[in-house]
């Protein structure tokens, strides 16, 4: 029996989700377990372990036979990402899906004037679909000396992928990376001269645009080794991230706006609103053959006016040359941070 159990575990697909303790990440886990309770090994990679344990027990309450494990990772910390990856290598002998979902939008500033101007302009639908022109953020610097949004949303995940490369690139098997990007990702917010977005006021948009570029270049470098990457947008979803946009509005006030949001949904299907709907595309990608996906497309979760969920690919405003240049810069930064880490370890060995 033990041998059989061991064989089953070895065969079961391993799915790791970052930022799985709440919102869209947690909804994805719930949806995956609803279709296959015993055949998957889920790993919830979370920063806040108290919330992670609550998520873990919620999942096990609805799916008592599920195999759900927790992993501590703070994607804004280089050492945390590296030790988390080492732990993954110790625990599993395969990694089939890596959902790079953790993300932040710190200290958002909602421009009320721009919002009301936008309401009466012809760009109103775009404004509601992308949040473009009405949101800025104030970024911070991590103890490693990197920009916080860049590190959390992009570079921490990049290092994680690089560390897990041997597990993800296996002969005769495919693995999938899925980046939770956003329709807020915009070329104008990103600069190759300032990939961390030290100077601007739209670090969120910049980091998400960078993930769109990075996904493309990862496909060109890794497809031959069986690793595929895609980017998604979950639509506008009411989660902790969005509640934080209007901090003076408690969560219940947002829910009072739900009828208005349903009305807006008649005009833009990007108002998915619930984490369950937002996770639609993440769940859909799980069922696709990675070879059939378009590396230039962002896959969107959409909800129709009548409340039906579906997935749609939309071409991204990206080009291979810029994505290759970003990749080179990320590799260079990776070399620098690894060297710094080594030097620090030499100075004070563990
Ligand atoms: N909500 C929306 O409308 C949209 C969201 N997105 C993206 O969806 C993703 C999920 O966000 P959403 O579910 O909305 O919001 P939540 O705030 O509910 O989820 C964010 C998750 O990321 C985790 N996280 C944040 N910082 C770190 C870190 N340093 N290390 C590890 N985990 C971290 C949070 O964990 P912790 O509990 O530790 O804070 C949490 O689990 C994000 O990437 C976001 O940008 C994209 C488009 C629209
Ligand atoms: C309370 C009011 C009646 C209306 C609130 C308006 C705005 C706060 C929202 C309208 C469109 C929203 C939106 C986002 C945040 C909140 C809004 C600006 C995002 C920028 C959140 C993060 C993302 O990644 C985008 C895809 C969202 C796009 C829409």
Q: How confident is the model at residue 246 (pLDDT cuts 50, 70, 90)?
A: confident
Residue 40 has pLDDT above 70, yes or no: yes
Ligand in closest contact with the CA of 179 = 1
Measure 93 CA to ligand 2 centroid, in angstroms.
Answer: 40
Measure 35 CA to ligand 2 centroid, in angstroms.
Answer: 31
Determine the pLDDT at residue 76. 98
Residue 350 has pLDDT above 80, yes or no: no
Q: List Cβ<8 Å contacts ≥24 apart for 166-173.
A: 166/89, 167/88, 167/89, 167/92, 167/94, 167/95, 168/95, 168/98, 168/222, 168/226, 168/227, 169/222, 169/225, 169/226, 169/227, 170/94, 170/226, 171/226, 172/226, 173/94, 173/96, 173/226
Determine the pLDDT at residue 7. 55
Torsion sign over Cα 74, 79, 85, 90: negative
Residue 99 has pLDDT above 60, yes or no: yes
Nearest-atom number in ligand 1 for the CA of 180 is: 43
For atom 1 of ligand 1, the residue with the nearest CA is 237
- For 149-207, the pLDDT digits (tens) are 999 999 999 999 999 999 999 989 999 999 999 999 999 999 999 999 999 999 999 99
For atom 29 of ligand 2, the residue with the nearest CA is 131
Residue 5 has pLDDT above 60, yes or no: no
Measure 251 CA to ligand 2 centroid, in angstroms.
Answer: 14
Residues with CB under 6 A from ligand 1: 18-19, 21-25, 46-48, 51, 73-76, 101-104, 152, 180, 182, 233-234, 236-237, 239-242
- Is position 204 annotated as part of the catalytic site? yes
pTM for the complete prediction? Answer: 0.96
- For 288-309, the pLDDT digits (tens) are 999 999 999 999 999 999 999 9
| % residues pLDDT > 70 (the chain) | 97
Q: What is the mean pLDDT of the chain?
A: 94
- State the catalytic residue, choosing from 92, 97, 99, 204: 204
Best CA proximity match to 97, nearest among 158, 176, 37: 176
Give the DSSP letter of residue 123: T
Domains of the chain listed by start with CATH number? 2-347 (3.40.50.720)
318: Cβ–Cβ under 8 A, 6 or more apart, which residues?
187, 209, 212, 213, 216, 296
Determine the pLDDT at residue 205. 98
* E strand or H helix at 175: strand 175-180
Neighbouring-strand partners of residue 298 = 231, 314
Determine the pLDDT at residue 69. 97
Determine the pLDDT at residue 294. 98
ipTM given for this complex = 0.98
Q: How confident is the model at residue 251 (pLDDT cuts 50, 70, 90)?
A: confident
């Amino acid at each position: 029996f033990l041998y059989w159990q061991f064989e089953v575990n070895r065969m079961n697909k391993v799915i790791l989700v970052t930022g799985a303790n709440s919102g869209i990440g947690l909804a994805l886990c719930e949806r995956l377990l609803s279709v296959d309770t015993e055949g998957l090994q889920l790993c919830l990679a979370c920063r806040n372990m108290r919330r992670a344990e609550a998520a873990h027990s919620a999942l096990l309450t609805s799916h008592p036979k599920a195999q759900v494990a927790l992993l501590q990772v703070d994607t804004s910390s280089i050492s945390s990402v590296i030790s988390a990856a080492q732990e993954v290598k110790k625990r599993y002998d395969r990694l089939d899906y890596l959902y790079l979902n953790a993300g932040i939008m710190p200290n958002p500033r909602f421009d009320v004037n721009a919002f009301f101007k936008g309401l009466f302009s012809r760009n109103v639908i775009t404004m509601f679909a992308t949040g473009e022109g009405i949101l800025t953020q104030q970024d911070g610097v991590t103890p490693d000396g990197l920009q916080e949004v860049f590190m959390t949303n992009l570079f921490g995940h990049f290092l994680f992928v690089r560390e897990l490369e041997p597990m993800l690139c296996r002969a005769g098997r495919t693995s999938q990376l899925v980046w939770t990007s956003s329709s807020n990702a915009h070329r104008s917010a990103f600069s190759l001269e300032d990939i961390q977005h030290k100077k601007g006021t739209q670090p969120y948009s910049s980091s998400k645009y960078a993930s769109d570029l990075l996904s493309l270049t990862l496909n060109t470098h890794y497809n031959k080794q069986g690793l595929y990457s895609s980017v998604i947008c979950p639509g506008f979803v009411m989660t902790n991230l969005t509640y934080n946009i209007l901090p003076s509005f408690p969560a219940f006030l947002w829910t009072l706006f739900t009828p208005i949001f349903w009305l807006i949904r008649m005009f833009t299907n990007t108002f998915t609103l619930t984490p369950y709907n937002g996770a639609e595309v993440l769940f859909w990608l799980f069922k696709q053959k990675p070879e059939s996906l378009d590396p230039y497309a962002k896959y969107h979760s959409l909800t129709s006016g009548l409340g039906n969920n579906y997935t749609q690919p939309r071409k991204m405003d990206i080009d291979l040359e810029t994505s290759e240049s970003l990749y080179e810069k990320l590799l260079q930064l990776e070399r620098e941070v690894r060297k710094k880490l080594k030097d620090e370890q030499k100075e004070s060995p563990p």
